Structure 1
Amino acid sequence: MVPGVIALETDGVAAEDRAVRHPAPHQKRRVGDQQQPPAVAAAGDDAVSYRGSHAPGAPLNPSSEDAAIVAPSPGPGRRVAGRAAARPYNAVVNDRAQPAPSPPRIRRGGSRRHRGRRADPPVVAPPCAGEDDGPPPRILPRPEHPISRSQVDPNAIKVLYRLHKQGFKAYLVGGGVRDLMLGLKPKDFDVATDARPNELRRLFRNARIIGRRFRLAHILFKDSIVEVSTFRRAPDPEEQDSAPGELLITSDNTYGTPREDAFRRDFTINALFYNIADFSVIDYVGGIDDLKRRLVRVIGVPDVRFQEDPVRMMRACEFAGRLGFAIESRTQEAIQRNRGALAKAAPARLTEELLQLLKCGHAGASIQWMLDLGLLEVLLPEALAMVRARQVGAGDFSGILPTIDALMQEEREVSDAVLLAAMLLPEIMVRRFTYETENRRWMSIELFQSLTRELLERFLQRFQIANHKRAQILQILDGFHRLCDPSWTPAKRLRFASKSHFEDSLLLFEILTRATGEGHVVLEQWHAVARQRQRRPEPKIELPRRRRRRGGRRRKGKLERGG
């Protein structure tokens, strides 16, 4: 057994597919988690060791272990025999003959409600595979899986049943099915159907069509939003705006079948469908087996899938950290080969995925995966200061990410600006420590502000942040530096506590204090000031009383008579 390789007990699978490779224990750098290097499972052992210390979720209980595993995807570029002709644009897909209306055009007149509404783009899809092409999916009937309708958001159930009653296929898809199969509570529920966006608009008065790269419908309710997408297939490379020779997907609005929709998703564990018609779970790609193995595996060829959408590399690390799963060996190797492709991803998507990773409650394990696979150097080099700080003697900042995870598990309200400021803080602290050590004096507030602006501008070259949030980050870091100043008088402390960014700056100070174990006395002093400010009554502003005119107004007639 090679050190650093975890063996998986999967009969009939090639040896290279049964190993999840990790860096050798002596080569690993640890950021933000206290996990031990993965244990190596000896061949024939009953227990399988996976990287990470998270306890597995509720076990699956399928009664049939002999169900067939679906063969891998045909792969890009291969044609499947027996392709059916593409359905005409805007046709209702419910097995009943329907006339194909002409493509809708943007209204220029009529009521305000319809004026200027953007129509669906015309879809010219090449012939696609039918429902019966390829091996049959693995289907778990209701007694063989743990998902119950009572666990699903009632609004999502309403959407599913309305689509089903109107003759459309309606599946619960994505992370909601995955979490329910693991016994976890999903944060949202997504629906996939064969209804087109314009048909969803007609079915649901509360529907809003959004997106350009990926058009879908948001069904708006008072307390939630249900996201509904149309089944899609692998997009045509000729329809993309990427450079010649690149596989980057810029448009993903080519509709397909449920099978094609499953194969175009990112990971096997995210490609399970829950069918509201018979309450079964449908698996085209082997996701049920990977859930039992606790394994993150890419659907199709890993290099191709990561070049199509580089953000998938971040998502692989997030799922492995959040669920306590291992990452399949070929997926790990492809991430290391294609990590430079993250520079081609849209900055807005990178920002969204980074914030989602920091809020998942397992950011420490997820960032550790990114460090091990080389993503952190490309995406977030500022976080490498957590490792470098200890080497230069600036302190141990490896506890910042576990502290953020603890705040999330405590359901503390942490703004996006605080999370991003916490990612910049280790690099700022190392730079400040180096300056103060070399010059033997406290860094001035002007120099500190210049340093934070320099690092933030470099950060914004990779991420997209709104101007007001950028200003918040600068204010929070500036306030953090002022909180560290020991020369405050009680009156100045109370005045500073009235600033709008004081609470966020104090929270960032608390994160660093809990992470390093230092500064508890100063933190308690500022907490006392915050409590004093809350007890202090707001000054009442009295408006000047309007003087009443004496004698009242004279009538117009008296003025004309001179009386």
Structure 2
Amino acid sequence: MIKQFLQKVFRRRVNVNTHTQLPAAQIIQAGKHKINQKHISQAALKTCDQLQKAGFQAYIVGGAVRDLLLNHPPKDFDVATNATPEQVHKVFRRSRIIGRRFRLVHVLWGHETIEVSTFRGHHLSEGDAETNDSGRIIRDNVFGSIEEDSVRRDFTANALYYDPKRQEVLDFHHGVADIRAKTLRMIGDPLKRYQEDPVRMLRAVRLSAKLGLKLERETEAPIRKLANLLEDVPPSRLFDEMLKLFLSGHAIESINALRAQQLHHGLLPLLDVVLEQPMGEKFVMLALKNTDERIQAGKSSNPSFLFATLLWHEVLLAWQENQKRGEHMIPALHEAMNEVIDKQAEKMAIHNRYTATMKEIWVMQPRFEQRSGKRPYALLTNPKYRAGYDFLLLRCASGELPQALGDWWTRFADAGTDERTAMLLPESGPKKRRRKPRKKTSVGGEAV
């Protein structure tokens, strides 16, 4: 108890001496920022309104404000407040406190969830934030003011706070000017900020590619040097960030930026190998192009399919090697799939719900080459047939398989009964004749 009391007193003293140079907000009125409130989620508006009615500050914050200023309707809305997680939980009946590294509150509105965070404070004394040997923050629940919170944000474009009631944007780090200048700038010392959270390097690459913002020189400079820090990031966090990157609608630009910053090595441990193979790179880029087009058209994209394409050529290589050692085709494929996924999991664990579907897509591929008898009909009834078929078309388009194979399946799927029967290929190999049982006769009671 005495130790906790002394820590609180110490923090208060440091607060008095340290918080004299916090940034002041530039208040930007509706006439200048021109945010269209019709693009704001009703759930986010109601969350801010109820927190403000309860006597707290509440702002839509971060990427949503950035996207609104760029006239991009945001997909997600986050709210920041001076209420503690427990206080937020009391305001909203349908809410839950989550997280250990950062304690947050998820406020539930029908099918929509608004993530509410308490303003973060500075790391002022030992015990405020836990870090590992490389400086990465592993636990941090220090609460503070909105000014302190703005310093804790990663990029100036994300340190923007929008008050829906007053329709004002609070800009603490000239983020609006940077957005208009198409610049992505780190708040504070980039070297230190990347050490605190190496995932910020991936986020910098993703946002610059997605939003068409150029990385400011000092923000970009340390990235290559610190790339190895990503090895210390928990696999689950790494996977989530990579998923955002590949499903941003700008995956090709993101891949090119990853390569330019030398960040792709070790993330998908096999991706750099794939990209060095002419056919592998063509296959991957076709998959990413298709994914980008679907997302930009407002369609969904299955992460399982995407990761299946990224790792396919390593599976293919391992499969071929296993068959050379004398293993039968299907067992060799299963062994190759497990081998590649296990190797991948060492650096970036792909969730089991995705790997199961990836394996289903892969294991269907040899079945597409079987076009005789009842096998094609059975394949059409497979629940994952469409994903497997799309995967086959990518293999044909990249030159891995003859285009005629993909065309055959496209025609077969749409054909009528008679046409399908005519399309079937003859059974391969000589047809085995059934051996008739020898007729038994008896001579004098003896079988002959």
User: Which TM class, normalised by the smaller chain length?
Assistant: 0.7 to 0.9
Contact 1:218/1:225 (CA < 8 Å) preserved in 2?
Answer: yes
1:479-498 superposed matches below 5 A:
479-483=364-368, 485=369, 487-489=370-372, 491-498=374-381
The TM-score, its normalising length taken from structure 1, stands at: 0.66
Separation in structure 2 between the aligned mates of residue 442 and residue 395 of structure 1, nearest angstrom: 28
Deviation at residue 160 of structure 1 after TM alignment: 1.0
Deviation at residue 240 of structure 1 after TM alignment: 4.3
How big is each residue's C-alpha offset from its partner over 1:200-238, in whole Å with a ceiling of 9 and x where there is no partner? 111111111111111111111113111111101234563
Counterpart in the other structure of 2:392:
509
Counterpart in the other structure of 1:404:
291
Counterpart in the other structure of 1:260:
148
Contact 1:494/1:529 (CA < 8 Å) preserved in 2?
Answer: no
Contact 1:395/1:516 (CA < 8 Å) preserved in 2?
Answer: no
Counterpart in the other structure of 2:184:
296
Range moving further from structure 2, 317-326 or 232-241: 232-241
1:416 to 290, 303, 318: 303
How big is each residue's C-alpha offset from its partner over 1:42-98, in whole Å with a ceiling of 9 and x where there is no partner? xxxxxxxxxxxxxxxxxxxxxxxxxxxxxxxxxxxxxxxxxxxxxx99xxxxxxxxx
Contact 1:149/1:157 (CA < 8 Å) preserved in 2?
Answer: no
Contact 1:394/1:433 (CA < 8 Å) preserved in 2?
Answer: no
Counterpart in the other structure of 1:94:
none
**Quick check: 1:470 aligned with 2:326?**
no
Separation in structure 2 between the aligned mates of residue 285 and residue 125 of structure 1, nearest angstrom: 29
Counterpart in the other structure of 2:32:
144
Specify the code of the residue in structure 2 equivalent to 1:446: P
1:20-419 superposed matches below 5 A:
126-127=11-12, 128=15, 133-235=21-123, 238-243=127-132, 245-390=133-278, 396-397=282-283, 398-419=285-306
Counterpart in the other structure of 1:458:
343
Range moving further from structure 2, 126-135 or 315-324: 126-135
Counterpart in the other structure of 2:383:
500
Separation in structure 2 between the aligned mates of residue 395 and residue 224 of structure 1, nearest angstrom: 38
Contact 1:242/1:250 (CA < 8 Å) preserved in 2?
Answer: yes
Change (3 A) 1:362 1:394: closer
The TM-score, its normalising length taken from structure 2, stands at: 0.82
Counterpart in the other structure of 2:409:
526
Separation in structure 2 between the aligned mates of residue 512 and residue 406 of structure 1, nearest angstrom: 18
Q: Note the residue ranges of structure 1 that are not aligned, 5 or more in a row.
A: 1-87, 90-121, 535-563
Change (3 A) 1:532 1:192: farther
Separation in structure 2 between the aligned mates of residue 201 and residue 377 of structure 1, nearest angstrom: 42
Contact 1:394/1:430 (CA < 8 Å) preserved in 2?
Answer: no
Structure with the bigger RCO (C-alpha within 8 Å, sep 6+) is 1
How big is each residue's C-alpha offset from its partner over 1:166-223, in whole Å with a ceiling of 9 and x where there is no partner? 2211111011100000111100111101011111111111111111111111111113
Deviation at residue 480 of structure 1 after TM alignment: 2.6
Deviation at residue 450 of structure 1 after TM alignment: 2.0
Structure with bigger helix share is 2
Specify the code of the residue in structure 1 equivalent to 2:183: L
Separation in structure 1 between the aligned mates of residue 163 and residue 9 of structure 2, nearest angstrom: 28
Separation in structure 2 between the aligned mates of residue 125 and residue 197 of structure 1, nearest angstrom: 24
Deviation at residue 355 of structure 1 after TM alignment: 1.2
Deviation at residue 428 of structure 1 after TM alignment: 3.3
Separation in structure 2 between the aligned mates of residue 135 and residue 234 of structure 1, nearest angstrom: 13
Specify the code of the residue in structure 2 equivalent to 1:160: C
Specify the code of the residue in structure 1 equivalent to 2:349: Q
SS of residue in 2 equivalent to 1:376: coil
Contact 1:214/1:251 (CA < 8 Å) preserved in 2?
Answer: yes
Contact 1:234/1:254 (CA < 8 Å) preserved in 2?
Answer: yes
Deviation at residue 474 of structure 1 after TM alignment: 1.9
Separation in structure 1 between the aligned mates of residue 364 and residue 20 of structure 2, nearest angstrom: 63
Contact 1:383/1:426 (CA < 8 Å) preserved in 2?
Answer: no
SS of residue in 1 equivalent to 2:55: coil
SS of residue in 2 equivalent to 1:378: coil
Range moving further from structure 2, 423-432 or 278-287: 423-432
Deviation at residue 343 of structure 1 after TM alignment: 0.9
Change (3 A) 1:435 1:407: farther
Change (3 A) 1:433 1:408: farther
Range moving further from structure 2, 445-454 or 328-337: 445-454
Contact 1:123/1:253 (CA < 8 Å) preserved in 2?
Answer: no
SS of residue in 2 equivalent to 1:377: coil
Specify the code of the residue in structure 2 equivalent to 1:491: K
Change (3 A) 1:527 1:385: farther
Separation in structure 2 between the aligned mates of residue 124 and residue 311 of structure 1, nearest angstrom: 34
**Quick check: 1:444 aligned with 2:333?**
no
Contact 2:396/2:405 (CA < 8 Å) preserved in 1?
Answer: no
Separation in structure 2 between the aligned mates of residue 206 and residue 191 of structure 1, nearest angstrom: 16
Q: Percent identity?
A: 30
Contact 1:317/1:366 (CA < 8 Å) preserved in 2?
Answer: yes
Deviation at residue 526 of structure 1 after TM alignment: 2.6
Separation in structure 1 between the aligned mates of residue 208 and residue 407 of structure 2, nearest angstrom: 37
Change (3 A) 1:164 1:468: closer
Contact 2:269/2:347 (CA < 8 Å) preserved in 1?
Answer: no
SS of residue in 1 equivalent to 2:115: strand
Range moving further from structure 2, 227-236 or 179-188: 227-236
Change (3 A) 1:468 1:207: closer
Range moving further from structure 2, 423-432 or 157-166: 423-432
Counterpart in the other structure of 1:55:
none
Change (3 A) 1:370 1:463: same
SS of residue in 2 equivalent to 1:139: strand
Report the count of equivalent residues. Answer: 408
Specify the code of the residue in structure 1 equivalent to 2:360: Q
Contact 1:339/1:378 (CA < 8 Å) preserved in 2?
Answer: no
Deviation at residue 135 of structure 1 after TM alignment: 4.3
Separation in structure 1 between the aligned mates of residue 256 and residue 113 of structure 2, nearest angstrom: 32
